[in-house]
Structures are given as C-alpha cells and as structure tokens.
Structure 1
C-alpha cells in the first residue's frame, strides 16, 4: 500500500483494537491529531498516532488525507488550545469542537488553519507552551478535576488514568506515551515518597506486578488521578487510600520524574 497520511477532522474519534464498532475504545484521537495510515479494510483504517505511536482502527470518514509535508508540519506541538474552555473550528457549515489537549492547529495563521483542502476558521487564539513549573502542572491537573472516568478517554467528557497524565503533560509541553506501563518506562526514578515534587508520576501495579494505574503527585501526601472520576486522594508508601471506601485501592510500585 502506498504511504498515506491524514489528520483527525472531528472533536473526538474512537480508536479501537479491531475493525468493528463493537470493539472497545482503546484510546481516542482529537481534532488535529496527525496519523499514518497502515492498513485499509473499508470503511476502517488502521492508523498510528504521530504523537505517541499508538495504533488502532478507526472510521476513515473521521480523517482528512494530507500530504507527507502537512503530516510533518502538524507535529510542532508548541501551540495548543488554552486549558480553560471548549472552543470551535469551522469550515463552511461544518463545525468541530476543539478540546483542551487537542493537537496543534496545522498551518495556523491569521485566525484559520488548513487541513488538506479544507480551511477551518478558529474561534480562539492558541497559546505558546511555556516552560513547565510545579504550579502550572497543579493548575492543569485540577482543571480536569471531576471529569468522569472512561476507559480509553482523553477529554473532559471522559478520561482514563494514563489519558489524564498524558493530557496534563501535553498541555505543559511534555510528551509522554499513552499507556501507564509505557509511561512507567520513561522519566527518572524517584527513590522515596518524601523526595517527590509536584508533577512526579506515581505508578501502581497489580498482584502480578503489572503496571495498571498512574496518577500525578501534588506533594508527598496527595495524588490526583482518574479513578471513577478525576479526584484527589491521600497517598503513602503503601499506595492510594480511598476515604470513601475506607481502604487502600492502588499499591504503589514506582515514582518517575519528567521535569
């Protein structure tokens, strides 16, 4: 198959492990995400997300085919939507919502962006990612507070634990992988909980030793994570304690630092 590239044209597009609407949602693409097309079984395309190399199947009608040059230019990752509102982009009578942690706007200039042969009018001013600080990470993480948990989710309308950490870090200009086990292989190890700083990621395993959860440490005693909803819970050397259940729910495995 000839090499083909595309950009997501809808606000949220499910990415599935199999070419079927009945397959679970493994993750999501957001408006502006650039992808490489790996396989076609109409109406399904198997794609690889350029941002985190995640692969899956999606309906091709949610994509706009672009040139290799446009695919590469869409990977600047320096200009993002502000993390405070839901915005829109409009092409003629077609409107797409542009959510916080969405990709950069391809070929953005003078209030519009170009995707393939379509020009979208942009309803907001993108911002340039600034150097990350502990205060900024806290602000961004708390922005998602009370977002409902959704397996494979990446947005305010539903997000999973690793989608949450990836979204917050993306808005802060830090690029990490999609799944918790992948993220646990990145960063620098922090040996002890008293040594943590705001923004460190804590990872948790199951009885088999597999990483199954991740959260963002606010300090050595508190963690914000997606579990039922994005929430703040106490943490100690044993793991996350859920006051509502009156027990520990996640066993601490490792802590990593990314900035």
Structure 2
C-alpha cells in the first residue's frame, strides 16, 4: 500500500486495539497529531502516531489527509494548546472545537492553524514549547493536572493514564517521551539514589513479575505526582509509593531516570 498520512481533526480521537467501536482504547490522538496509515479495513484504519510511534485503530473520518512532506514537517510542531480549560478553535463554518492542553496547533501562522485543507482560527495565545524552561516549569506544569481522573489510554485533561500524564507534561516542556511506562523507562539517564532526586526526575515501578507498570514525576526526594485513581501527590521512599487512602505501599520502586541535567 502506498504510504498515506493524516492529521487528527477532532479534539480527542480514541486509538483502539481492534477495528471496532467496542474494542479497548489503548491510547488517544489529540487535535493536530499526525499519523501514518498502516492498514485499512473499511472505515477503520490502523495508524501510527508520528509523535511517539504508537499504533491503534481509528475511524478514518476523524482524520484529514496530509502529504508526506507535511507529515515530516509536523515532527517539529512546537505550537501547542497551553495549560487551561477554555481553549477554542473556530472553524470556517463558525463551529467551535474545544481543545485539550498539549494538543498541536498544526502549521500555526498569524492566528490560524490547519488540519489538511481545513482552516481554524486560534482564539488564544499558543504555547511555544521550544521556549519552555524545564527546571523552572516542571513542578507547576505537573501540578496543573492535579485531580484529573485516571483513564486507561487517556491523554487529555478529562482523563489521563500514568504514562499519558508524564508524556503530556514533558511534551509541554519540549521533551519527547514514548507512550508507555515500560518504553519511557528505556529513555533518560539513571539516578542512583532517591536522595539525589531533582524535581522533574521520573520514577518507574514494577509488578511481581518485574515488568514496569507505573510511572510518575518526582517533585522532591519525598514526594511524587502520578496518575492513580486521579493525578495526585503521594509520599515516596525506597520501597515505593505509600498510598494514604489504602494505608499500604501501592507501587514498588524500580528505577529513577533524569531527562534534564
């Protein structure tokens, strides 16, 4: 099949494990994220996210076509929807799109962005991730998402899974992370001891089989912000995360990684 490329033209599009509305949601696309089409089955297309390489099935009607050159250009999209809950695009027909923090503003210029041939007026000041200061902003950016509910596969301000939360925070700060916790654990530089932790370091946790299953952002050597039931701050020590509500250690610490020295 000849390579085909698309861009998400809705606020949030589910990526599913199979070609069915009933299939598990494994991740989500946000507005303006670009994909390569891998396979087609009627209205269901298997796509690969150009940002993190993650694959899933989606309804092709939630995509607008783009060229290969546009697909490549989108790899370096720095204009994003900023932190907040009232960021709106206006389509040519006057209809509105309410976007989630961290969504792309593709091909942004002079107050407009474009999804394929569709033109949208940007009614807010974009966030330019290339100007972000990681060390100065990581704590505030992480805490913006506090109390967002946990959602398996979620990547938006009304539902985030643990790795989706970390990936979104880092995207706003101009650092590209993979999608799943186990994939993110392969990135960054190892931090030897909990006492050496700096704000923005990322802690990973494993299960009884030794598989990385959880991730969160360190605020300091004693506190972590992570998505578990909701995005929240919990105490952490060498054993792992202590859940005050359950009165037990809920996640066993495996490793800590640093992405900015």
Task: Please confirm whether the aligned pair reaches a TM-score higher than 0.5, indicating the same fold.
Answer: yes
1:216 and 1:224 in contact (8 A); partners too: yes
TM-score normalized by the length of structure 2: 0.96
Shift of 1:84: 2.4
CA distance in structure 1 between the aligned counterparts of 2:116 and 2:102, rounded to whole angstroms: 22
The CA deviation at 1:74 is: 2.1
- Counterpart secondary structure, 1:181: helix
SS of residue paired to 2:167: helix
What is aligned with 2:187? 186
Q: Is the Cα–Cα contact under 8 Å of residues 154 and 161 in structure 2 kept in the other structure?
A: yes
| 1:113 and 1:120 in contact (8 A); partners too | yes
Offset, 1:131: 4.1
Write the distance in 2 (CA, Å) between the matches of 1:136 and 1:39. 40
1:137·1:198 contact (CA, 8 Å) conserved in 2? yes
**1:129-148 to 2 correspondences below 5 Å:** 129=129, 130-148=131-149
| 1:103-126 Cα shifts (integer Å, max 9, x gaps) | 2x2221121112222111111121
Q: Does 2:163 correspond to 1:162?
A: yes
SS of structure 2 residue aligned to 1:148: coil
CA contact (8 A) 1:86 1:100 kept: no
For the Cα contact (< 8 Å) 1:6–1:34, is it kept in 2? Answer: yes
Tell me the secondary structure at the aligned position of residue 20 of structure 1: coil
CA distance in 2, matches of 1:148, 1:205: 22
Unaligned runs of 5+ residues in structure 2 are none
Deviation at 1:88, TM superposition (A): 1.4
**After TM superposition, where is structure 1 displaced by more than 4 Å over at least 4 residues in a row?**
none
Is the Cα contact below 8 Å between 1:79 and 1:126 reproduced in 2?
yes
3-state secondary structure, aligned to 1:248: strand
